[in-house]
């Protein structure tokens, strides 16, 4: 018996030694590294901040698109002997489209230039000590697939020199247009969701990295209009739809708890300095997931929160549940429901006690709404998509339906609601958007309304999001209203998620130095059982067979491949003293096992492309990578090291 044990031990030692020798002599390659965008931008910055004393007002250094993301921006660099206060003027096509800004006094000057025109030699005036130098800054043409307005109607006397920022949900770029419809800003990377301006003047956008399909991103980025990223905020559940900056700078973020098997029902507060999640609001603990369903509800996406708004006066948070046709307001500290606005159909008696009672003759409920916000006077402003004008059936055809911006006055004490203003119902199907869209408060009686999800098929208005079927045309209509009068109407032939009206220059400051990453995406779940990998198989065709792409990002391993629905796939990371195994779910929605995947004939035959993200939390040192596919372990001759 002892001899048998010794023999087994010798075999194990021999196999282990063989593996070690193999790894030492074989040319195992490191996983291809994707350079961190913060590192890339820092390298660019270091290339132009030296020897600034060589540049003067008369002969400054000019760098177009200095950080590689914002082609219609530039950086002007020069030095002066004394403290001077420069002023720049980007000459526009009219007075209302000419952009001016005065910078703070300095001797070493880094002047961000915003609002250049594409594909032209821009005229920029640089004034220092009452002396003006004319600079010429040439930009590249817009990409061929860039979306431009098809129609603009305006009362220029009523408009300010501000730009209209849009984020696309289909074809298009994150971009800003002036009152003439000319593009004055755009980003080359795909930063989806909304563009918000922070208290410090920087922009807050979604990350351009996915954490899960179809649109859940790793978090948010804080950048200026030069495209310089100052911070990337990452969090375990990622980010979707909306974020709100609190007075102390912390962020209220719409996120997910994928491990629960549901999505779009969680909000967290992130400490902006540390990345710590200091509060979590789980709507599953506040509302019933089985009540209030409309035609769009699924078991895993039962609420579909698409907006977050904190009201300091009432210490409450207002959320918009598209799949329950409700806007809910809760106490931020206790998480108790203050009120619910929406059609009470399909809700239990226990929950209906929170629903506001309509008063007034002109009241209409909202359906599948977006962008709910509390106005300075306490009123509720939102975009009423109006899907079906019903929770349970297609009561109104899309051609005869409408979407609108609407303001409700809420009496929380008496639990009543009154509709006091709306715009859009008289525009009919041409203004109908069955998904996305936005409203914004500019000043009193001054609003911005975006019907961003209009589409048609065979001449008829669609009743579903454009992405769910083939369409013939897309359209977004932006209307700016002042005292109930449209002062600008802009139409663009694509679908846009949201829009904002903002100044190019504000309180933001350009600061040198490498950007920082705050927070993390958490530890990726491993399986309990680790396969034996002593007897593995090498197959050089495995890459081509499954279209494998394996890359290393700064904070995670990314494994992408094409597999059939019935395939059983695991990723194995093996080091001398540690082994980790991860399941690769072959699904269109890998974040939840509750969904029912429907594969078409081509997908059943050829498979679908899926991606597995393995975060670096808990991974330290060198790991060799194996794939277990349908019971066979493959050595792919690559390693990763963190």
Beta bridge partners of 239: 217
Distance CA 75, CA 47 (A): 13
Residue 24 is predicted with a pLDDT of 46
Distance CA 167, CA 186 (A): 10
Is residue 242 within 8 A of residue 255, CB to CB? The reply is no
Residue 26 is predicted with a pLDDT of 54
What's the CATH number of domain 50-138, 3.40.228.10, 3.40.50.2300, 2.60.40.10, 3.40.50.300?
2.60.40.10
Does residue 87 sit in helix, strand or coil?
A: strand
Residue 528 is predicted with a pLDDT of 86
Does residue 178 sit in helix, strand or coil?
A: coil
DSSP 36: P
**585 burial via Cβ count (<10 Å: 0-12, 13-18, 19+):** middle
In the chain, where are the structural domains located? 2-30+526-641, 50-138, 286-432
**Which residues, in sequence order, are CB contacts of 453 under 8 Å at separation 6+?**
169, 385, 433, 434, 435, 436, 437, 465, 466, 476, 495
pTM of the model: 0.93
Closest by CA to 370, choosing from 299, 275, 465, is 465
Distance CA 431, CA 417 (A): 25
82: enclosing H helix or E strand:
strand 74-84
**Which residues, in sequence order, are CB contacts of 53 under 8 Å at separation 6+?**
79
276-314 b/e with 16+ CB inside 10 Å = b? ebeeebebeeebebeebbbbbbbebbbbbbbbbbbbeee
Average pLDDT across each block of 10 residues of the chain; the chain has 642 residues. List them in order: 53 48 63 96 94 92 98 97 96 96 96 98 97 97 96 96 94 95 96 93 96 95 98 98 98 96 97 98 97 95 98 98 98 98 95 96 97 98 97 90 98 97 97 98 98 96 89 96 98 97 91 97 92 73 93 97 95 92 91 67 90 96 95 93 94
Name the pairing type of β-strands 87-90 and 99-102. Answer: antiparallel
Q: What is the pLDDT of residues 107-131, one digit of tens each?
A: 999 999 999 999 999 999 999 999 9
Distance CA 9, CA 17 (A): 12
């Amino acid at each position: 018996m002892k001899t048998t044990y010794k023999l087994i031990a010798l075999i194990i030692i021999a196999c282990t030694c063989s593996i070690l020798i193999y790894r030492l002599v074989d040319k195992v390659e490191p996983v291809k590294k994707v350079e961190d965008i913060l590192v890339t931008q820092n390298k660019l910055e270091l290339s132009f901040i030296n020897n600034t004393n060589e540049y003067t007002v008369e002969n400054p250094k000019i760098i177009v698109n200095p950080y590689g993301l914002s082609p219609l921006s530039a950086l002007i660099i020069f030095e002066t002997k004394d403290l001077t206060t420069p002023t720049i003027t980007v000459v526009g096509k009219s007075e209302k489209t000419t952009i001016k800004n005065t910078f703070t006094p300095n001797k070493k000057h880094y002047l961000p230039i915003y609002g250049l025109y594409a594909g032209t030699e821009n005229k920029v005036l640089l004034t220092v000590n009452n002396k003006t130098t004319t600079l010429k800054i040439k930009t590249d043409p817009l990409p061929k697939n860039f979306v431009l307005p098809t129609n603009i109607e305006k009362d220029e006397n009523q408009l300010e020199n501000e730009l209209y920022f849009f984020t696309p949900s289909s074809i298009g770029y994150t971009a800003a247009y002036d009152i003439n419809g000319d593009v004055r800003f755009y980003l080359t990377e795909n930063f989806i969701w909304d563009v918000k301006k922070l208290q410090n003047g920087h922009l807050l956008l979604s990350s351009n990295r996915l954490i899960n399909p179809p649109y859940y991103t790793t978090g948010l980025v804080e950048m200026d209009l030069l495209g310089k990223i100052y911070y990337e905020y990452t969090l375990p559940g990622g980010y979707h739809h909306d974020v709100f900056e609190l007075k102390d700078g912390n962020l209220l973020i719409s996120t997910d708890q994928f491990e629960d098997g549901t999505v779009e029902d969680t909000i967290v507060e992130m400490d902006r300095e540390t990345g710590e999640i200091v509060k979590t609001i789980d709507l599953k603990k506040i509302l019933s997931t089985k009540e209030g369903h409309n035609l769009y509800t699924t078991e895993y996406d039962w609420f579909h929160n698409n907006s977050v708004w904190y009201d300091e006066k009432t210490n409450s948070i207002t959320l918009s549940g598209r799949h329950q046709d409700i806007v809910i307001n809760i106490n931020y500290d206790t998480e108790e429901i203050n009120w619910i606005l929406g059609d009470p159909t399909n809700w239990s008696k226990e929950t209906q006690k929170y629903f506001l009672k309509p008063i007034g003759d002109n009241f209409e409920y909202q359906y599948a709404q977006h962008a709910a916000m509390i106005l300075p006077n306490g009123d509720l402003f939102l975009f009423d998509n109006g899907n079906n004008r019903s929770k349970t059936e297609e009561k109104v055809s899309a051609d005869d339906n409408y979407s609108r911006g609407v303001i409700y006055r809420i009496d929380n004490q008496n639990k009543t609601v009154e509709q006091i203003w709306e715009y859009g119902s008289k525009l009919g199907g041409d203004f109908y958007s069955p998904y996305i869209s936005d409203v914004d408060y500019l000043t009193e009686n001054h609003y911005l309304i975006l019907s961003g999800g209009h589409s048609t098929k065979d001449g008829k208005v669609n009743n579903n999001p454009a992405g769910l079927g083939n369409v013939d045309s897309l359209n977004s209509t932006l209307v700016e209203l002042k005292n109930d009068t449209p002062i600008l109407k802009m139409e663009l032939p694509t679908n846009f998620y949201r829009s904002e009206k903002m100044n190019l220059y504000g309180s933001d400051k350009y600061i040198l130095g490498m950007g920082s990453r705050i927070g993390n995406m958490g530890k990726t779940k491993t399986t309990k059982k680790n396969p034996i990998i002593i007897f593995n198989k090498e197959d050089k065709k495995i890459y081509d067979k499954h279209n494998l792409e394996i890359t290393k990002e700064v904070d995670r391993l990314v494994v992408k491949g094409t597999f059939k629905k019935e395939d059983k796939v695991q990723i194995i990371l093996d080091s001398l003293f540690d082994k980790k195994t991860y399941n690769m779910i072959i699904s269109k929605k890998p974040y939840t096992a509750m969904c029912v995947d429907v594969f078409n004939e081509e997908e059943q035959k050829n498979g679908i492309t899926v991606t597995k993200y393995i975060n670096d939390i808990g991974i330290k040192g060198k790991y060799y990578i194996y794939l277990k596919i349908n019971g066979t372990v493959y050595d792919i001759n690559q390693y990763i090291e963190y």
